[in-house]
Amino acid sequence: MNAPQWRIWLVTALLCGWGMLGMRFVQKEQWPMVLLCLLLMLSNGVTLWRLTKKGK
């Protein structure tokens, strides 16, 4: 997929943000929020992979 560079940077920033927020929730032991952050990280990780894969 031929994605604009700003979108790749945005998804990367979101991925990092969810990771940092997830670590904060782990420290506070708020497990439902940790699971939500992990789910959103996974979703953004898949999006980033799709945006940067070669081919189509």
Q: Find all residues with CB under 8 Å of 50, minimum gap 6, and list them.
A: 1
Rounded mean pLDDT of 36-55?
A: 91
Q: Nearest Cα to 4, choosing from 43, 51, 46? A: 51
- Report the percent of the chain where pLDDT is more than 90: 82
Rounded mean pLDDT of 16-28?
A: 96
pLDDT for residue 49 is more than 70? yes
pLDDT, position 25:
97
pTM tops 0.75, yes or no: yes
Rounded mean pLDDT of 36-46?
A: 96
Residue found under tokens 């070669």: 54
Provide the H-helix boundaries in 1-56: 5-28, 31-52
